[in-house]
Amino acid sequence: MAKVQVSKRFMDKSQRVLAYVILSVISIIWLFPFFYLILQSFADIQNPLYNTKSIIPNIWTFNNYKALFTDSRVPFIRWWLNTLIIAFFTALLQTILVLMTSYALSRLRFKGRQGLMKLILILGMFPGFLGMLVIYYILELLGLNTSIYSLILVYTASSAMSYYVAKGFFDTIPKSLDEAVMIDGGTKNTVFWRIIIPLSKPIIIYTILVSFTGPWGDFMFGKYIIQTAQIQPTGYTVAVGLQGLTTMATNELYGAFCAGAVLVSIPITALFFWLQRYYVEGIAGGAVKG
Amino acid sequence: MTTIQYLSLTKFERFLVNVGNFFKGIGKGFVNFFKGIPHKLLVLWHKICSPFDTLGQAWKKGSWGVRTNFLLMGFYQLTHHQIVRGVLYLLFEVVFIWFMITTGVPYLAKLGNLGSFAAKSSTYLDDVASGSSLIIQGGDRSFTILLYAIVTFLLMLIFVVLWFFSIRDAKSLQDNIYVGRYAKDSQFFHDIVDSKYHTLLLAVPIVGLVGFTVIPVIFMIITGFTNYSGTQFYLFDWVGFDNYAGFFSNTNSSGLFTIFFKVLAWTLLWALIATFTNYFLGMVVALLINKKGIKLKKLWRTVLILTIAVPQFVSLLLINQMLAGSGVLTNLFRNWGWITGSESAFDNALLSRVLIIVVNTWVGVPYTMLICSGILMNIPEDLYESARIDGASPFKMYTAITLPYMLFITGPYLLSQFIGNINNFNIIYLLSQGKPSYGMASLGYGDVGETDLLITWIYKMSMEGQDKSYAVACALGVLVFIIIAVFSLIFYGRSNSVKNEEDFQ
Amino acid sequence: MASLKLEHIYKVYPNGHKAVTDFNMDIKDGEFIVFVGPSGCGKSTTLRMIAGLEDISTGELYIGDTLVNDMQPKDRDIAMVFQNYALYPHMTVYENMAFGLTLRKVPRTEIHEKVMWAADVLGLKEYLDRKPKAMSGGQRQRVSLGRAILRNPKVMLLDEPLSNLDAKLRGQMRSMISKLHQQLKTTFIYVTHDQVEAMTLGTRVVVMKLGRVQQIDSPQNLYDHPVNKFVAGFIGTPQMNFFNVRLKEEKDHVDVIWKDCEQPALRLSKDQVLKAEKKFLTGEKDIILGFRCEHVSAEEEELAKGDNIVDVTISHFEELGNETLIYGDLKEIEKLGEESTTGIIIKAPSKMGHVAGDVIKARINVEKINLFDAETEITIIPPVPERNVLPVSIKNEKMDLFGEQTKPASIPVDFLENGTIALPLDATQVCEKGSVEGKVVLVEKQGEITLAMVEVKGKKLFLKVEEGVKAGDKVKFTVDYSRATFRDEKDAVVAEPLKDRDCINATFVNYKTAEEVTKDPSFAKMKDEKVAKVKAEYEEKRKAFEAEKERALKEAQEKQNAVNASVAEREAALAKEKEETKKQLAEAKAQYRKDVKEAKAKHAQIMKEEMAKIDAQYKKMKDEEKADYKEFMMKNKDPESRRSRRTSYSVFKESFPAMKASDVEKRTNSLDFEKETELNGLKARYSQLVALSKDKLKEDERKFKEECYPLETTTKEYEKKTKAFDKEEQDALRRAELLFFFKYDEFYQLLPDDITNKIIQGMGERVFTKIFRIEVPHDGFEEKEGALEFKVVSLVNFGDVKLYKCAGTMYGEKVNVYINQERDIALGEVIHLAPIVEKTQIYEDERNIRLY
């Protein structure tokens, strides 16, 4: 009797094993840095007996974390609060502005629409920070340059540039919904608030997530604006503060950097995994709509 | 060349035909562009002279109310039930005039030589040298002059446009009244929520956009023509195209041109490699994870998403430390003999370039993996089934279906990723800070290094070091823009022509 | 309920593409109109223009005789059902239907009542708390229908509502929609590309093609008398059979000859082609013969009649159960082999024992055929012919048309040998003092028009007559030769008809410019007159209004005194009631929370039980399989069957988890779904309760205020009324001052209001810059001094009709105008003529758009 051709999966068992091996190697490569970070944050680097060669630290200590909260050169809590406030308000304002721009560009038809989209595309091609001198001067004019919260203004001001993903989402909502509301007696304002917003929960969460994690990761703007504003060191954001630690002459604060990095990453990663579904949807759906 | 003939050619001939078409496509593009010029000029001419005849009409036919609009913007609207619109026009005119008198005109006057009170301000100069305080009193600052000049030009442009609109609206309002249709004040509030809703929505974002992006960009383009730098901090002058000339003129080994050419070459190479490694590796990983038989799909995906979740600066600084002098990876390299002695991984050029590309894939692959798995989900299943019936091997299926489909869908994404990589500041700056440097810091163009991109070079030139040659950085920034614009035009054109040829969908 | 008028509607897109051209239709109240046509013919665009979703390039749209061109969709009181239902996905069915009314701030009790009414009309009672995504296509469509009928709009618009449903459901929904139409009596406008729906639903059907209306008629007329080949092919399944033929008129019958054949195939009776023009019957013109498949039959008793028999070779059959369609080819044409349409479809009760390839005889029922001119594809036997074509010959001042008669002087033809004269139908008017007399041969009733065929000296022609005329009567009629076209035997035009309308250009001017230029006191007088009239009218209105106000205030004052005593006590009652409702609401809230917790617990419990049940069930199945496998293995030793048993067992183990998972998923889904509906229901009940009690409270407060402080409420009410009255008066006065004129060269003519509105509506504020072409009929001129100066040049005498040719200069170039005046004017006399605007047609010259 001919050999029974059972389902294909049994045949390429060897292929599956190979696939698993590759995947696990990839995971190791991708997880090693964080694993190393956590280990370093417990390593007592200053201790002379410490053997820098080995990956697993031979001396464990907890004072790196203690240094974060006690050492005056590393006012971590202050940094963390600054960044949290900036991130919170940026997320709030930027989401509103991005939603408004992308809704207008995707669903309303008006004269300068194509022109505006082309302008934003072209502006995106210029290197961003060259204009920082001017932005700093404008902040100076507005008298905001001494407070680091002017960063909120800097981040939200250019939020119209990132209308792309949200616009992709709004394009998927059928046009006949707008027309149905028009006939039912609503204005375009009712359409926006009572039909579009309740329907676009995924993209709202995606925008909040992206604009919240923005300030945590931004380094360039923060460094320039804070440096000229001379409110070191308590006025730093987390990113600028930690970067400052690594470029210090002696690397005695390196342990503090690792601890700080771990503490910063935990909340953001937790937030990320909680909203992972929306993030994946946003990227896979919106970005490709191009 | 009908498609049948095309198919009958061998693979190599087809390649030649494709290349031929590619250049012909560009040629055709230019020809169409020039052919279109006369028509475009005609349309432009019509656009230019049409406002003048509406103004003429308004003056001849308009009642005295409309004529006063020539002087007092919004007057006619105010007197004929369009109070909100009238007030807005009037307010703008008042603000504009006040601005012109107090700051506009004086600064415009100084625009010629960008400030002449060198004498007085120079005494302050040495205070700065000693680094006592940045804030100075009195004397001209060319920076402020230039900035205010730009803002004034912008405002004047807006004023002319609004002035014309106020007269045109007044004339059409008058015609409507003659015809018996009267405007209502409340109409403004109905419109703002319904037919003119986009103005309400876009007002704030556009003001933000102009204030914080458009003006800086214009300022940047203009400073490219001055000699604004560390030494000329307060008073700088127009130098015309010298900066640009500088890039192409002094070709001796330590000249600007050699650095520019080297950095440009590396930037383009970097952008090409980075984009394609990210793209293909991401796709391979996505294919691997989404393969039917693989279990625990969610686990693999979450591992990769972790790298996106953790803020970029944390992971990059960490890797930087790992590759620093006493870093764990540098020890590894030392054991493998790639690097000698106490230098860090970033001291030899080739290794640091390879490392940057590897780290970039480490950061970029999860992102492309997400996108590719998104697309893989909606590749129509029946394509694979029909291929399987035709007896296609898995590899053939990949090259015949998955790859072309992915390329077709992600065409524009690839282009935006390419542009993103040219301007990719974080990776280079946080990791290698451009080391190993060419050792040309003394020349005043920043301590540019082997792994520096144009963008990081601009940063170094304008932000770091003592004598920041800001103007040259701006000129370089404009050059970067031109390069990107040219590439995106070609690629965009090409991807269209490629699409038509393959007409996959 | 409202009628609908579309006048000269054009839709031209910015890129010049004409989506809809000159759409004219009068829809009476309660009609069910269907727009049908292939995709891209402009039917949906027209519907969207009526709805206001697309703006109308030019032309006017009246809904219930109010002009709605510039109105917002929401003010037009229309409702629309979309092709993809356009339901709001995040709202329950109740909210979806009530959304329209909540936007219009209708009190909640009324909304609730209306939604319940609509729900039981459409049978949606138990779905009210569901979300659209949890319902089937048919139910969703009914919800969108409910949403539309809820606002009992003037006009119901349906845009291909059934195209997303499967065939069976489509049938049900069709009957529901027509039932709804009978029940509501609203005017329905329905767009579809499926002609079956058009025929079954429509009282009147509009067939459209490439933006132009082909025919508007009842379904039966469309089926029997299509106006052109397109309508014939489009309406009716299977498609009508078409053949290229030639018609040859014989003595007592007309022969139908297949194209390029010799001997005639079919024979028509003379009166069938009576209305066709002679040129079609000469045998040179290509004609398309069309007949339905049920009008050709192969049955014995039909064949027995003997005439019009054709041979057909059968190619294949289509058996539809109640009837069979026989597809075949006509033998005669087949042998010619050219690709002209030879295919014929015959409807037969059954296969009748024939087999593909047989040659059978079939008789064509010649009464029901249609004939179309091959070039223009327009039918040559229209129910109401446009014109009569009669043979005529003219020799030296004598014309032999209706017998020997003198040729009217102004016919520019001197010699014509057996030519033809084409007279439009309304050029021959029946009236007592008609110069020609004829005998009525037969009378037909076509819709509203009664058509009589009259014989005059052996020549037959058609005339419109009144109701009572019978065959055999004598009838007199006049002939207006000015509108006749003379052609010689080679069909070349010898004499053109005189243009029935003369064109003059004019510009539109408002009162101020006219007054300044002419300083003509009469204009000022006209204006003041008009203003005075309006003022007077508003004077008495104001008096009546004041009186009414007085009365109401006095009455309120009395009520105030009467009720003053009880105010305090009423106030207390109100306060107590407020307290009570607050308590009630708190209670309801607690109750609601308890219910929700309870429902959740209950459902969690059900879910747990269900899961336990499933686990047990699957565990049992798994154990059984394992035991059976072990037992089988022990029992027999034959390696082959053991191996197959082992593989089948491992397949079972492999697929077991997936099978279980899908079952679990299916069951939990339905449970979740019930839970969600129940929770939605609770929430809806609670929010309704809260809303109702709040509304009641507000209502009581209002009543309290009204009864206890009548004086204050009525005064406030009347203040509002007086303000509205003043505004209205001011508007009317302002409008009264508006006078508009047409300026012909120097002469200014005042235009009546309705015409000015139409022109302004069409042109908007650019009206002053446009040039208008006024087309004035011959009787459209009147003598008025100071008007345009003309010199009578010659008398054009067309027998019954006498026209004076006058020449004048307008804007410097010569203009000829023909007028027919009662009083006879001497040649060469100078007269002043002014057009009577009501009789004229006004076009905007540049884009040739008709405004009036």
pLDDT digits (tens, 9 = 90+) for C468-511: 778 888 888 877 777 777 887 777 777 777 677 778 888 887 77
Tokens 């919904």, located at residue = A177
Examine the fold and report which residue of A44, A61, A78 is the final residue of a domain before the chain moves on: A61
Q: Is residue A1 part of a domain?
A: no
Measured distance CA(C801)–CA(C478) in Å, rounded: 9
Which residues numbered 161-200 in B keep a CB inside 8 Å of some CB on C? 172, 175-176, 178-182, 194
pLDDT at position B435: 74
> Which pLDDT band holds residue A100 (cuts at 50, 70, 90)?
very high
Stronger pLDDT, C275 or C75, i.e. the higher one: C75
Three-point CA angle C66, C68, C69, nearest 5°:
140
Claim to verify: residue A134 and residue A249 sit in the same structural domain: yes
- Over residues B231-250, the pLDDT tens digits come to 666 777 777 787 777 777 76
Residues C191 and C159 sit within 8 Å (Cβ to Cβ): yes
The angle subtended at Cα C591 by Cα C588 and Cα C592, nearest 5°, is: 85
Partners of chain B (3+ Cβ pairs below 8 A) = A, C
Cβ contacts from A onto B, under 8 A:
242
pLDDT in tens, A238-249: 888 888 777 776
Is the Cβ pair A243, B288 closer than 8 Å?
no
Q: Which of the other chains make 3 or more beta carbon contacts under 8 angstroms with chain A?
A: B, C
- Are B317 and A156 a contacting pair at CB < 8 A? no
Q: What is the pLDDT of residue C336?
A: 57
Q: Which two tokens stand for residue A84?
A: 């949290």
Question: Is residue A289 very low, low, confident or very high in pLDDT (cuts 50, 70, 90)?
Answer: very low
Same domain, A158 and A283: yes
Residues A23 and A107 in one domain: no
Lowest average pLDDT, out of A185-194, C34-43, C539-548, C635-644, goes to C635-644
Order of strands across the sheet that contains C155-159? C78-81, C155-159, C187-192, C32-36, C204-209, C212-217
What pLDDT is attached to residue C341? 57
Q: Which two tokens stand for residue B226?
A: 């001055």
8 Å CB contact between C100 and C81: no
Give the pLDDT mean for B92-102.
89
Please tell me which of the candidates A36, A123, A219 has its beta carbon nearest to residue B328: A36
- Taking contacts as CB-CB distances below 8 angstroms, the residues of chain A near B463 are 129, 224
How many inter-chain contacts (A to C, CB under 8 Å) are there?
A: 61
Provide the pLDDT confidence category of residue B128 given band limits of 50, 70 and 90. very low
| Ramachandran angles phi, psi of C253, nearest 5° | -150, 175
Q: How confident is the model at residue A286 (pLDDT cuts 50, 70, 90)?
A: low
Q: Residues C459-474: pLDDT tens digits?
A: 888 888 887 778 888 8
pLDDT tens readout for residues A157-173: 888 888 888 888 888 88
Segments of chain C assigned to CATH 2.40.50.140: 402-495, 751-850
- Summarize pLDDT for C400-410 with one digit per residue, the tens: 777 777 777 66
Side-chain half-sphere of C159: how many Cα atoms within 13 Å? 23
Minimum mean pLDDT among C221-230, C433-442, C582-591: which range?
Answer: C433-442
Nearest CA in chain B to A11: B293
| Count of domains for chain A | 2
Q: Is residue A22 part of a domain?
A: yes
Are C402 and C459 within 8 A, CB to CB? yes
C170 versus B178: which is more confidently predicted? C170
Taking an 8 Å cut-off on Cβ atoms, the answer to whether C760 and B175 are in contact is no
* Lookup result for tokens 């101020």: C512
Q: Write out pLDDT tens, residues A44-85.
A: 777 777 776 677 777 777 877 887 788 777 788 888 888 899
C72 interaction partners in chain A (CB closer than 8 Å): 182
Residue B333 has pLDDT above 70, yes or no: yes
Which pLDDT tens digit goes with each residue over C227-255? 888 888 888 888 888 888 888 888 888 88
Closest CA to C200 of C228, C164, C235, C226: C235
Query: Over chain B, what is the mean pLDDT?
Result: 78
Which CATH number does C402-495 carry? 2.40.50.140
pLDDT confidence band for A97 (50 / 70 / 90): very high
Beta strands C204-209 and C187-192 are: unpaired
SS3 B229: coil
Which residue in chain C is spatially nearest to B190 when comparing CA positions? C72
Q: How far is CA C39 from CA A52, C80, C227, in A?
A: 77, 20, 20
Q: Which of B168-177, B456-465, C169-178, C543-552 has the lowest mean pLDDT?
A: B456-465
Residue A166: give the domain boundaries. Answer: 69-289
| Interatomic CA distance for residues C463 and C428, integer angstroms | 7
The least confident of B108-122, C421-435, C621-635, C797-811 is B108-122
pLDDT at site C351: 75
Assign residue A99 the CATH number of its domain: 1.10.3720.10
Residues A28, A76, single domain; the answer is: no
User: Which of the listed residues A61, A87, A106 is the one where a domain comes to its end?
Assistant: A61
Question: Is residue A177 in some structural domain?
Answer: yes
Question: What is the mean predicted confidence (pLDDT) over B209-221?
Answer: 88
Residue that wins the pLDDT comparison between B318 and B445: B318
Tokens of B191: 């419109």
Q: Is the pLDDT of residue B124 over 50?
A: no
When scoring B151, B213, B278, B303 by the number of chain A Cβ atoms within 10 A, the one with the most, hence best to mutate, is: B213
Q: What is the pLDDT of residues C339-361, one digit of tens each?
A: 555 678 888 887 777 888 888 88
User: Which pLDDT tens digit goes with each residue over C193-216?
Assistant: 888 888 888 889 999 998 889 888
- Nearest chain C residue to B172 by CA distance is C765
- Label residue C817 exposed, middle or buried (CB < 10 Å: 0-12, 13-18, 19+): buried
* A171 in any annotated domain: yes
CA distances from B426 to B423, B453, C127 (A): 9, 11, 56
Disruptive mutation site among C63, C76, C82, C150 for chain A (greatest number of A CBs within 10 Å) = C82
Q: What is the pLDDT of residue A6?
A: 42
Residue A2 within a domain: no
Distance from the Cα of A202 to chain C's closest Cα (Å) equals 13
Please check whether residue C199 is in contact with residue C235, taking contact to mean a CB–CB distance below 8 angstroms: yes
Residues of chain C within CATH 2.40.50.100 domain(s) are 239-373
Residues A86 and A54 in one domain: no
Q: For residue B505, is pLDDT > 50?
A: no
Res A130 pLDDT > 90: no
pLDDT range class, residue C71, cuts 50, 70, 90: confident
When mean pLDDT is compared across A71-75, A117-121, B13-17, C372-376, the lowest value belongs to A71-75
Chain C, nearest residue to B63 by Cα: C512
Share of chain C above pLDDT 70, in %: 96
Q: What is the largest CA-CA distance in chain B?
A: 92
- C726 versus B331: the higher-pLDDT residue is C726
Residue contact A134–B215, C-beta within 8 A: yes
Q: Which residue has the higher pLDDT, B502 or A213?
A: A213
Task: Tell me if the domain spanning C4-229 has CATH number 3.40.50.300.
Answer: yes
Q: What is the pLDDT of residue C195?
A: 85
Closest CA to C50 of C18, C22, C77: C77
The predicted model gives A170-180 an average pLDDT of 88
Rg (CA), chain B: 30
Q: What is the reported pLDDT for A228?
A: 61
Report A:87-106 residues touching C (Cβ under 8 A): none
User: Does position B133 have pLDDT exceeding 50, yes or no?
Assistant: no
Q: pLDDT tens, C652-693?
A: 888 888 888 888 888 888 788 788 888 888 888 888 888 888
Q: What is the per-residue pLDDT for C338?
A: 53
* Shortest Cα distance, chain B CAs vs residue A1, angstroms: 24
Question: What is the rounded distance in angstroms from the CA atom of residue C483 to the CA atom of residue C491?
Answer: 17
Asked if C195 contacts C238 with a C-beta cutoff of 8 angstroms, the reply is no
Contact B84, B76 (CB under 8 A): no
More confident residue, C329 or B345: C329
Residue C752 has pLDDT above 90, yes or no: no
Cross-strand partners of C78: C155
- Residue of B201, B285, B305 lying closest to A103 (CB–CB): B201
CB contact under 8 A, B366 and A132: no
For B175, the closest of C72, C512, C768 (CB atoms) is C768
**Which residue in C86, C87, C647 is closest to A179 by CB distance?**
C86
Report how far residue C715's alpha carbon sits from residue C737's, in angstroms, rounded to the nearest whole number: 33
**SS3 (DSSP) at C249:** strand
Q: How far is CA C450 from CA B111, B446, C468, C480, in A?
A: 89, 100, 9, 21
DSSP SS3 for B131: coil
**Chain C within 8 Å of A185 (Cβ-Cβ)?**
yes
Rounded-to-integer distance, Cα C60 and Cα C367, Å: 42
In this prediction, residues A100-104 reach a mean pLDDT of: 92
Same domain, A45 and A89: no
Q: Is C360 left (phi over 0), alpha (psi -120 to 50) or beta?
A: beta
* Mean pLDDT to the nearest integer, C388-399: 79
Structure tokens at B94: 């008042």
Could you give the CA distance from residue C233 to residue C217 in angstroms, rounded to a whole number?
16
The domain made up of C751-850 has a fold known as OB fold (Dihydrolipoamide Acetyltransferase, E2P) (2.40.50)
Contact C88 A4 (CB under 8 A): no
Say if A6 is an interface residue toward chain C (CB within 8 Å).
yes
3-state secondary structure of B349: helix
C638 touches chain A (CB under 8 A): no
Q: Are B178 and C760 in contact (CB < 8 Å)?
A: no
Residues A29 and A87 occupy one common structural domain: no
Select from C121, C151, C120, C146 the least CA-distant residue to C132.
Answer: C146
Beta strand segments in C745-780, E: 747-750, 771-777
pLDDT of residue B132: 37
Q: Check B180 against C735: CB less than 8 A apart.
A: yes
Closest residue on chain A to B489 (Cα): A122
Question: What secondary structure does DSSP assign to chain A, as a single string?
Answer: -PPP---HHHHTHHHHHHHHHHHHHHHHHHHHHHHHHHHHHHB-TTSTT--TT-SS-SSB-SHHHHHHHH-TT--HHHHHHHHHHHHHHHHHHHHHHHHHHHHHHHH---TTHHHHHHHHHHHTTS-GGGGHHHHHHHHHHHT-TTSTTHHHHHHHHGGGGG-HHHHHHHHHS-THHHHHHHHHT--HHHIIIIIIHHHTHHHHHHHHHHHHHHHHH--HHHHHHHHHHT-TTTT--HHHHHHHHHTSSSGGGHHHHHHHHHHHHHHHHHHHHHTHHHHHHIIIIIGGG-
Q: Which of C45-49, C200-204, C431-435 has the lowest mean pLDDT?
A: C431-435
pLDDT band at B501 (very low <50, low <70, confident <90, very high): very low
Q: How confident is the model at residue C342, as a pLDDT?
A: 64
pLDDT surpasses 50 at B497:
no
- Integer Cα distance of C97 and C372 in angstroms: 50
In a domain, A231, yes or no: yes
The alpha carbon of residue B207 is apart from the nearest alpha carbon of chain C, in Å, by 31
Instruction: Say whether both A156 and A264 belong to one domain.
Output: yes
Task: Give the residue ranges of DSSP H helices in B390-453.
Answer: 394-397, 403-422, 425-431
Q: How far is A284 from chain C (nearest CA, A)?
A: 23
Residue A17 clears pLDDT 80, i.e. is over it: yes
| Predicted pLDDT of residue C190 | 93
What average pLDDT does this structure show over B323-345? Answer: 73
pLDDT on residue B250: 63
Would the pLDDT of C143 be above 50?
A: yes
Residue C80 has a pLDDT of 92
Q: What dotted CATH number matches B256-502?
A: 1.10.3720.10
High-pLDDT (> 90) share of chain B, %? 1
Report the pLDDT averaged over residues B189-194.
83
Q: Where in chain C is the domain with CATH 3.40.50.300?
A: 4-229
A102 and A12 fall within a common domain: no
- From chain B, pick out residues whose CB is under 8 angstroms from the CB of C768: 175, 178
B430 in contact with A, Cβ within 8 Å: yes
Residues of C with CB under 8 A from a CB of B: 72, 510, 512, 734-735, 738, 760, 764-768
Q: Tell me, what's the pLDDT at B387?
A: 84
Chain C residues lying within 8 Å of A191, measured CB to CB = none
Residue among C52, C82, C103 minimizing CB distance to A186: C103
Q: What is the pLDDT of residue A229?
A: 56
Q: Do A245 and A135 lie in a common domain?
A: yes
Mean pLDDT value of segment A243-272 = 81
* Closest Cβ opposite residue C651 in set A6, A180, A198: A6
What is the CATH number that goes with domain C239-373? 2.40.50.100
Cross-chain residue pair C765–B172, CB shorter than 8 Å: yes
DSSP B226: B
